[in-house]
Amino acid sequence: MLDTRIILAGIWITVMLIYLLGDVLRIYSGDMVRMADTIPSGTTKWLFAAILMLIPILMVFLSLVLPQPISRWANIIVAAGFFLFVLADLRSYPSAYDKFLLIVSLVFNGVTVWYAWNWS
């Protein structure tokens, strides 16, 4: 069996790629332009997006290097936070592919919490 650290890092990579896939599909479908028209544009919005997308990237690294008790709780807290954030924002995405990908990401956030919670 793989070390829990590697499993958690792999899950964070998976979640990050799901989010990026949604972004790429949004660009190609034209949904990005339509959604951008409904949200006021500005550097603050893009800074928030950069910070939000940096978190899963950092969690890959932190899952591997933090001491077990800290990594365990960091994974639980961050995955639960992303779960709640995505769940609250799910309705704002108009396309079926977006909803599908976000639901898949919710599953992986749940799996992250499960692995971290059961990490002994």
Residue whose token pair is 């990237």: 57
Could you tell me what percent of the chain has a pLDDT over 90? Answer: 75
Domain ranges in the chain are: 4-117
Report how far residue 29's alpha carbon sits from residue 14's, in angstroms, rounded to the nearest whole number.
22
pTM above 0.95, yes or no: no
Q: What is the mean pLDDT of the chain?
A: 92
Report how far residue 35's alpha carbon sits from residue 58's, in angstroms, rounded to the nearest whole number.
27
In this prediction, residue 68 has a pLDDT band, given cuts at 50, 70 and 90, of very high
pLDDT in tens, 11-44: 999 999 999 999 899 989 887 766 665 666 678 8
Q: What are the distances in angstroms from CA 4 to CA 48, 54, 106?
A: 30, 22, 19
Characterize 36-74 residue by residue with b for buried, 16 or more Cβ atoms within 10 angstroms of its Cβ, and e for exposed: eeeeeeeeeeeeeeeeeeeebeebbebbeebeeeebbeb
**pLDDT at residue 56 tops 80:** yes
